[in-house]
Amino acid sequence: MDIFEIAKGIFEKEARAVLDLVKHLDENFNQAIDLMLNTKGRCIVSGMGKSGHIGAKIAATLASTGTPSFFIHPGEALHGDLGMLAPDDVLIAISNSGETEEILKIIPVVKKRKIPLIVMCGRQNSTLVKQGDVFLNIAIKEEACPLQLAPMSSTTATLAMGDALAAVLMKVRNFKPDDFALFHPGGSLGRKLLTKVKDLMVSTNLPIVHPDTEFNDLVDIMTSGKLGLCVVLENEKLVGIITDGDLRRALKANDKPRFDFKAKEIMSTNPKIVDIDAMASEAEEIMLKHKIKEIIVGKKERVVGIIQLYAIGNV
């Protein structure tokens, strides 16, 4: 038994199932987006069994990306939870066969309350599709399951369709990283996107030197600053930066180490700078792009601090 070949076959079958969805894209997808975008209520997702698990994930993705949404279990819906649906909502019902009994039983109430019904289904002529207002075709050629029993390719295709809806809605709504952060304050990404440079920068005892500062003083100031750099100011204006790497390169530049140079001889001019009110994620992006570990913080052309890459990484 070749385990890797079996796994490879599963990946290929599921990948084909997702790619086949491209062929199913039609005006129904546009209609689904219009309904979800223009509803004054929420996008409710419902499904039974494995489709229910996928539906819960789709609802969670929608909710976290700007489309108010939650999952409702069809079994619980039949015993009171249908009261959670309001006339301004949209219902997305998921059933690969289109004949799931629990789903079909809630449809009359949905229709009576005139709630728009989007159906994700793999059978175009099924009972559920005939009841729906919009049909999103998630039909597959074969399940990845070796026994053709457990839903694998079908659930993957369903999840991909849900992701496509969420992603398109994000684009149409112009959903931005800052919006995402508002819904994810507890996660590392959310904290980074909500944290500003001024929250993390070092602003006291900054290692500041003059262009004419001599080597010995330069080393003392850099060491006491504990940031691995010195900021070079002239008449309170930023003219350069000296890192510990600049110092090492200067000392190795000659056969005999020199200890008589001044700051202006080894400083890097036009250093990178970030505004005090910028997001920490912006500062991180600049540092990663330019392969630096610290960046100067400015406010109205004044140097007010230093922010280090590790400080953002610890958020």
Q: Please count the other Cβ atoms lying within 10 Å of the Cβ belonging to residue 21.
A: 20
27: CB partners within 8 A, 6+ apart: none
Q: Please count the other Cβ atoms lying within 10 Å of the Cβ belonging to residue 106.
A: 20
Structure tokens at 36: 């979800």
Query: For the chain, how many helices (H) and strands (E)?
Result: 16, 11
Q: List binding-site positions for Zn(2+).
A: 73
Rounded Cα–Cα distance for residues 117 and 132 (Å): 5
102: CB partners within 8 A, 6+ apart: 48, 74, 75, 77, 78
Secondary element (H or E) of residue 48: none
Q: Please count the other Cβ atoms lying within 10 Å of the Cβ belonging to residue 197.
A: 26
Rounded Cα–Cα distance for residues 82 and 102 (Å): 12
Among 215, 193, 195, 220, smallest CA distance to 205 is for: 220
Q: List binding-site positions.
A: 73
Rounded Cα–Cα distance for residues 100 and 94 (Å): 9
Rounded Cα–Cα distance for residues 172 and 36 (Å): 11
Among 133, 105, 107, 135, smallest CA distance to 123 is for: 135
Question: Residue 129, exposed/middle/buried by CB under 10 A (0-12, 13-18, 19+)?
Answer: buried
